[in-house]
Structure formats: structure tokens, C-alpha cells
């Protein structure tokens, strides 16, 4: 598997800040992978996300996208076309007065032919479940709907990689599920690399890989099962564990031995039912 984004010993300090936001981050994000980055506020995860399409540049070390160094200004357009970003606040990302025009903004600027723009706009809005809002005014939509429009706007660029920087934070559970299943489908069916930055532990459950950041460093790196069964270490970094693991961990402490890697609701219920059956 080839590498989509590679960070090598990246250090970065915001102007005037006392301590670095990134303090030696080295990681390779593989093409086609679904990677989730977890960390508390101020852990450096959003700074890392912004390094991935050259919104920020490293003070030391380097970041490359498909082998292109983000510090090379001539490659900026190519890099941003490959890696699309979706931010937390949809209101800051919407530029047009009609939904379809907003989604068409990026392909128009990339010089895509009109027929192709039409196809991309329709397909992108369909992918985020907003087909029926094509001619609506974005300002009359709810926050969750606006965010789905913003995601459609990125999809219309046909990027190789999408970075979602807490893009689900303002959505309701249904909107969040829709966005997540959309990015998962794009990942699975079209092979788009996904880097999802979040505080919501449950969003990491079926990722290929979970990175946990703390103090500007990557402190945990593994599959969801590997990462979430390290309950104490997660708590030490200011994170919680999914309720399934929380329950299993408590039952262990109550003297009922339980596997801590039964992450999904069904796995967790199976583990509990089995333990009770054994006892009987």
C-alpha cells in the first residue's frame, strides 16, 4: 500500500505560544485507509490536520502529500486538490446563496466543464443525502444540513483524501451517522483516504487505525480494539472510552472477568451473555 500523507518529525509552534502544538510527529497515512485521530482539546490533532493540506507548514520536519512537499509553494494547488478539508463550523465554509452553486464552487474554480460540474454536484449532494435541497438557500438550512453541503462541496473536487477536522461535532446523532456512513462508503467504494479528527470515541469504532494525540505527540497508534482496551492510558490523556468498554471495565473491577476489546454493542452483549451463562 502506498503512502498518501507522510509526516516526518513535524514540529510547529503557533506565533507567541509558549509550548509547541506539534512536538515531533512522525506518521505515514496509507492510501485508502480510514484513520481516526483522537485527542483532547489542545492535544495538537487539529494542527496536525491542517498540516495535511498545507493550511499550516511545519517549523521543522516535513509533510508530504503523495510525495509532494507541502513547503513547495508551486505544488500548493495540486496538494489542495488531492486533499480536501472539511472544518467544524459549516457557516465558515459556505460561499454561495444556492446549495447547488455552493457545491459547484470548487469544480468551477478548477475549470471543470459544465456538464461534468452538473454530474459532480448531483452525485455529491446525493452522497450526503441532500438531493432534495439542490435549489435551497443554505442560510435557511440547519447546522447539520449545512455541514453536509460543505462535505458535498469537497466531494465535488474529487479528492484522493478527505480530512474531516471535527466535522461531525455540530451534527445531531442522525446527521453524524449519515456523514460517517457517507465517508465510510466513499472510503470503501471509491478508495478515498479518510482522516477523521474527533472527540467522539464511538466514531473510531470501525476505523482501520486509531491515532491518539496528547501534548503535540502521537501517544497511541493501533487498531480500535488495541487502543480502546487500554482504558487507563486513555483516561490519562483526558479521553473517555466507549460505553461498551466502560461497562466491561467496571464489571472486571467487580470481579467478573471480561474481554475489554468487545467494542461494538453486539460484541459487548455477547461477552456479557456468555459470562453469565458460564457462571450458571
Q: How many residues does this entry show for the chain?
A: 280
Q: CB 206 → other proteins: shortest distance, Å?
A: 15
Query: What stretch of H or E contains 161?
Result: strand 161-165
The verdict on 205 binding other proteins (CB under 8 A) reads no
Helix segments in the chain, DSSP class H: 45-51, 76-82, 99-109, 114-127, 143-155, 173-190, 224-228, 231-236, 243-253, 265-279
Torsion 222-224-227-230 (CA) sign: negative
Residue with cell 472477568: 257
CA distance 96 to 105: 8
The verdict on 77 binding other proteins (CB under 8 A) reads no
User: Buried b vs exposed e over 248-267: b needs ≥16 C-beta within 10 Å?
Assistant: bbeeeeeeeebbbbbbeeeb
The verdict on 171 binding other proteins (CB under 8 A) reads yes
Per-residue binding letters, 8-27, with other proteins (x by CB under 8 A): --------------------
Q: Which of 13, 81, 202, 233 binds other proteins (CB under 8 A)?
A: 202
Is 116 or 172 the residue whose CB approaches other proteins more closely? 172
Q: CB 194 → other proteins: shortest distance, Å?
A: 20
Q: Which of 59, 60, 226, 243 binds other proteins (CB under 8 A)?
A: 243
Per-residue binding letters, 84-123, with other proteins (x by CB under 8 A): ----xx----------------------------------
Is 53 or 244 the residue whose CB approaches other proteins more closely? 244
CA distance 169 to 176: 8
The verdict on 221 binding other proteins (CB under 8 A) reads no
Q: Which residues bind other proteins (CB under 8 A)?
A: 39-42, 88-89, 136-137, 140, 142-145, 166, 169-175, 199, 201-202, 238-240, 242-244, 246-247, 250-251, 254, 256, 265-266, 268-270, 272-273, 275-276, 279-280
Amino acid at each position: 500500500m502506498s503512502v498518501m500523507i507522510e509526516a516526518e518529525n513535524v514540529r510547529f509552534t503557533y506565533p507567541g505560544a509558549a509550548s509547541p502544538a506539534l512536538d515531533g510527529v512522525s506518521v505515514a497515512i496509507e492510501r485508502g485507509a480510514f484513520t481516526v485521530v483522537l485527542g483532547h482539546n489542545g492535544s495538537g490533532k487539529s494542527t496536525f490536520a491542517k498540516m495535511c493540506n498545507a493550511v499550516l507548514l511545519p517549523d521543522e520536519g516535513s509533510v508530504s502529500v503523495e510525495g509532494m512537499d507541502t513547503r513547495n509553494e508551486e505544488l500548493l494547488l495540486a496538494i489542495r486538490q488531492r486533499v480536501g478539508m472539511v472544518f467544524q463550523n459549516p457557516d465558515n465554509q459556505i460561499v454561495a446563496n444556492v446549495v447547488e452553486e455552493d457545491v459547484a464552487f470548487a469544480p468551477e474554480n478548477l475549470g471543470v466543464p459544465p456538464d461534468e460540474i452538473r454530474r459532480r454536484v448531483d452525485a455529491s449532494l446525493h452522497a450526503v443525502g441532500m438531493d432534495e435541497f439542490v435549489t435551497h438557500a443554505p442560510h435557511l438550512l440547519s447546522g447539520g444540513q449545512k455541514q453536509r453541503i460543505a462535505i458535498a462541496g469537497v466531494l465535488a473536487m474529487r479528492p484522493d483524501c478527505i480530512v474531516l477536522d471535527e466535522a461531525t461535532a455540530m451534527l445531531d446523532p442522525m446527521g453524524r451517522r449519515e456523514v460517517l456512513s457517507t465517508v465510510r462508503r466513499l472510503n470503501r467504494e471509491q478508495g478515498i483516504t479518510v482522516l477523521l479528527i474527533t472527540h467522539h470515541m464511538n466514531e473510531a469504532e470501525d476505523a482501520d487505525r486509531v491515532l491518539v494525540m496528547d501534548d503535540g505527540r502521537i501517544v497511541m497508534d493501533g487498531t480500535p480494539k488495541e487502543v480502546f482496551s487500554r482504558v487507563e492510558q486513555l483516561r490519562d490523556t483526558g479521553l473517555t472510552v466507549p460505553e461498551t468498554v466502560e461497562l466491561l471495565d467496571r464489571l472486571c473491577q467487580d470481579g467478573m472477568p471480561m474481554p475489554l476489546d468487545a467494542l461494538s454493542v453486539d460484541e459487548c452483549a455477547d461477552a456479557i451473555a456468555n459470562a453469565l451463562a458460564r457462571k450458571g
